[in-house]
Amino acid sequence: MGTRETRADNERYDRLQDAYLERGDAGLLVEMYQVAKHVAHHYLLKYCRNKKLHLEVPDLAHDAAMYIIEQYLKPKVFRVQRLSAYIYFGVIKVLYRDYKKGVSVISYDEWLKDASS
């Protein structure tokens, strides 16, 4: 996914987010989810290629996108400043969790150390 596509996804998500926060239309959340899932899918494919892994990318992309969308369903006002940055952390969250418990099994510091090698 190139810089131009990333910028376009960020801009589309910003427009959808603004409209959702203004109107509260659940249909917009679906569109926001689709954009977030698209970005997560590309990040996960790149990660798998670099690490030579075979993961269930569609399922993980769904989980990463839902991580963001769920934030809008909480009582506080939530706003993503840049989708590509925020989805990255959603991807990391789903990659390093214990599937039986649904919790992270690696600290962020450990992940940073692993990612830099």
pLDDT band at 58 (very low <50, low <70, confident <90, very high): very high
* Per-residue model confidence (pLDDT) at position 101: 52
Mean pLDDT, residues 23-29:
92
pTM of structure:
0.78
Mean pLDDT, residues 106-113:
52
Q: Which helix (H) or strand (E) holds 26?
A: helix 26-51
Domain that holds residue 57: 3-116
Alpha-carbon distance 25 to 29, whole Å?
Answer: 7
> What average pLDDT does the chain have?
84
Our count of domains for the chain comes to 1
Instruction: Give me Rg for the CA atoms of the chain.
Output: 15
* Per-residue model confidence (pLDDT) at position 2: 67
Alpha-helical regions (H) of 52-82: 57-72
Alpha-carbon distance 62 to 39, whole Å?
Answer: 10
Is residue 57 pLDDT above 50, yes or no? yes
Alpha-carbon distance 10 to 70, whole Å?
Answer: 18
